[in-house]
């Protein structure tokens, strides 16, 4: 590449060699709460539960428990209500049976996949 440079009112023609610079590509684009500053785990770490347990489908807190230990329940009956981000989610019985244990209490924080009630 040729350039013209003026120094003290004298023009000079200069040949300049330009080396191509490698520009770094775009990194990952993170859209969300923390912009990648603190990675959010993708899996909830909860202990194993029995096959008869009703588990939380999402993280939240227990708003209300509508059954007691020893109660006979029907399939589809609402067992308890979870609250997450000011929204309530009804947790229903997957099948008819008897409540053998309630593993959480009102106001308890729960993680997705955590056992709530055993049938």
Distance from C-alpha of 81 to C-alpha of 42, rounded to nearest angstrom = 24
92-115 pLDDT tens trace: 998 899 999 999 999 999 998 899
Tell me the CATH architecture of domain 53-118.
Beta Barrel (2.40)
Q: Where are the domains of the chain?
A: 53-118
- Asked whether the beta carbons of 34 and 74 are under 8 A apart, the reply is no
Q: Which one is predicted more confidently, 7 or 23? A: 7
Specify the pLDDT at position 43.
46
**pTM (predicted TM-score):** 0.57
């Amino acid at each position: 590449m040729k350039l013209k440079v003026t120094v003290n009112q004298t023009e000079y023609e200069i040949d300049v060699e330009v080396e191509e610079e490698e520009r770094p590509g775009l990194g990952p684009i993170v859209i969300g709460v923390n912009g990648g500053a603190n990675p959010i785990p993708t899996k909830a770490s909860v202990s194993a539960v029995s096959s008869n347990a009703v588990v939380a489908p999402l993280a939240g807190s227990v708003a209300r428990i509508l059954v007691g230990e020893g109660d006979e329940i029907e399939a589809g009956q609402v067992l308890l209500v979870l609250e997450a981000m000011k929204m309530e989610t009804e947790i229903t019985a997957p099948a008819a049976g008897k409540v053998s244990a309630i593993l959480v209490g009102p106001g308890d924080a729960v993680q997705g996949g955590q056992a709530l009630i055993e049938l």
